[in-house]
Structure 1
Amino acid sequence: MLRLRSCIGARLLSSTSAAAGISPLHRLLSAAARAPAVSPNPSFAVEQYLVETCGLTRAQALKASVKLSHLESPSKPDTVLAFLAGLGVSRAAVAKDPQLLCASVERTLPPNVVKLTSLGMSPSEVARLVSLGCTRFRTRSVVSSVQYYLSIFGSFENLLRIVERNFYLLSSNVERVVKPNVAFLQECGLGACDITNLCLSQARLLTTNTERLGSMAACAQGLGIPRGSGMFKHALRAIGFHSEENIAAKVDNS
């Protein structure tokens, strides 16, 4: 454990010394370093730990403990909680993503924070991202996902607002799900600003399957609003994820 902490220290300090404006990361190091070293305990009860230490309900802890049954002591989760506390993330985040307790506080979490802040995110914005229940934060792919969404949404604030409405966004497969949907919307004449505004009102737009998106477009065309027209984006917003029957009924009653 001591060796692990020294590795964390070396990596974080070397990264933060080369990047301006992310000095709060030093607090992450000191917080994680204070996590007590605990030897494997055969009587360690994950479910009890989740309730007493992380504040989960019994039902939540019972469900989560199935995926955390390999934990043999509170050593690793204690270190993760200390790291999150240093970042400014409350333990409530564990209820949204219990597997966060298994993330590496050597290879994954500190490098992710450093890379996200190098993109321009402040530590408080990173903390907000984690607090939203972003499961991607415990994987190294979160950085490339954030980079891609910034190219579409234009700002961290827009990204975070959309993730608040659809926390599956950063967990979705960008290559197989999101990019085809973005390409389809662009083919319909929508620009990045249009897509951002649509996602703010229809947060599932980019994470639905492309066939469903095509049905929404066809529905708009069926109402006499062609792709590429100025009204098309408004039609998609109005149609949303209503069934075709509900849309027809609204049209008939209008």
Structure 2
Amino acid sequence: MLRLRSSILTHIISSSVAFPSNSSLHRLLFATAAPSNSPNPSFAVEDYLVDTCGLTRAQALKASAKLSHLKSPSKPDAVRAFLGGFGISSADVATLISKDPQLLCAKVDKTLASNFTELTALGLSRPDIVRLLSFAPLHFRCRSIVSKVQYYLALFGSSENLFLALKNGSYILGRNLERVAINVSFLRECGLCDRDIAKLGIQVNRILTTNPECVQAMVACAEGLGAPRGSGMFRLVLQAAAFLSEKKIAAKVDYLKKTFRWSDAEVNIAIPRSPFMLTRSKESLRHKSDFLFSEVGLEPAEIASFPAMVNYSLDGRVRPRYYVVKFLKKNGLLDRDWKFSTIVKVTEKVFVEKFICPHKEAAPHLAQDYAAACRGEVAARLIFA
């Protein structure tokens, strides 16, 4: 493990790039350079945040507690001028300050300007950098943000994927990069390719930053649910079961067995095929079970063979499609006996093309009734036809 950590750190350090200077940044820096931070007896932080920065009084009151050491507006003025020079509006600057008041205390020359320069060298555009700042103003005050962004860009494959991951948790920019690299290395050993690791990291980025021992436990849990390492469903089961305790998973498995009348063999078939059932509420599962058994008339084995139907929206997809096909069948408009799993799994476009469009003359109201049913407004003629 020590050798692994040492090699990972060596790789991270050796792969860092030399960043060129940016003359426009230096001009902006000199133009916004502030005088020394000499005490100003009349300076009141809370009033400054309201009158100059545009925060509400409530926001300013909360933020001023973290800026009580400020005795002059010189540093905050320099930060605001620097950010404004990059086209960040006053309203957006106010939002950034409300998120992280200490951004006003950042060193413009040694931190902000350097971060902007080096992130540009990584290939981020100015809008990208501004967007990054809006996601993580707290971490933007640290020089380490550059090496972390460099690592995550390589891991996720693009800046857009990086922003998707940040949307699900910007804290990844504040976590230990060595731990992330160890977890990534372990996931590769489990048979996940970099693309799968990127998808996993975007959806559940905590799995990259948590203790390696926790990741190992998650992998063991996924294997226990019927998804061995290297299997096609391993990533999805791992994603669904991540951060669910063994106790919660066992309770949900028992509930699935009782609700859908599954045997041990059937539940072991269903979960690897549709692992996100583990994340559904008991109420949602019960409603779908009632509908599939009572109205559709399916058998437990039929649901287990195509458990994805349990994840589809009952009111927005499953129920409306069932009513349409039931109507067509009762009126002799179907050319064959369709399996219910096929009816619910086809895309919306295919469903409309196969089950709505061919019957415009025989059932001119069908398209309108189907659209209404998808909104939760089921016409009586569709249900009782």
> TM-score if structure 2 supplies the norm length?
0.55
The one-letter amino acid of 1:32's match is: T
The secondary structure found in structure 2 opposite 1:168 is helix
Identify which of 1, 17, 21 aligns with 1:15: 21
The structural deviation recorded for 1:26 is: 7.8
Counterpart residue number, 1:32: 32
Relative distance call for 1:184 and 1:78 in structure 2 (3 A) is same
State percent identity of aligned pairs: 59
The 4+ residue runs of structure 1 with deviation greater than 6 A are: 35-38
* 1:146 corresponding residue in structure 2: 149
- In structure 1, the residue corresponding to 2:227 is in which secondary structure? coil
Alpha carbons of structure 1 residues 88 and 250: separation in structure 2 relative to 1, 3 Å: farther
Offset at 1:142?
Answer: 1.4
Equivalent residue for 1:230? 232
Q: Deviations for 1:123-144, whole angstroms, at most 9, x for unmatched residues?
A: 1100000011242221221111
Question: Residue 133 in 1 paired to residue 101 in 2?
Answer: no
Q: Is 2:171 the partner of 1:165? A: no
Who is 2:43 aligned against? 44
Partner of 1:80: 79
Deviation at 1:253, TM superposition (A): 3.1
Structure of greater relative contact order (alpha carbons < 8 Å, 6+ residues apart): 1
Q: Which runs of 5+ in 2 are unaligned?
A: 1-19, 257-385
In 2, the alpha carbon distance for the partners of 1:178 and 1:88 equals 33
TM-score, reference length from structure 1? 0.81
* Mapping of residues 81-100 of structure 1, within 5 Å: 81-89=80-88, 90-91=92-93, 92-100=95-103
Displacement, 1:36?
8.7
CA RMSD of aligned residues (A): 2.5
Separation in 1, partners of 2:208, 2:45: 36
Cα distance in 1, alignment partners of residues 56 and 185 from structure 2: 42
Paired residues of 1:31 and 1:86 also in contact (CA < 8 A): no
Identify which of 186, 204, 208 aligns with 1:202.
204
Amino acid at match of 2:66: K
| Cα deviation 1:153-180 (Å, max 9, x = unaligned) | 11111112211211101111212x3222
C-alpha separation in 2, matches of 1:200 and 1:174: 16
Unaligned runs of at least 5 residues, structure 1: 1-13, 18-22
Comparing 228-237 with 35-44, greater Cα deviation is found at 35-44
1:111 lines up with 2:114 in the alignment: yes
Deviations 1:89-121 (A, max 9, x none): 321111222111111111111111111101111
Deviations 1:181-220 (A, max 9, x none): 2122222222221111112221322122223222221211
Structure 1 residues 229-252: Cα deviation after superposition (integer angstroms, max 9, x where no partner): 222111111113223233223322
Deviations 1:44-87 (A, max 9, x none): 22233233433445554444333322211111101101111222
The answer to whether the 8 Å contact 1:46/1:68 transfers is yes
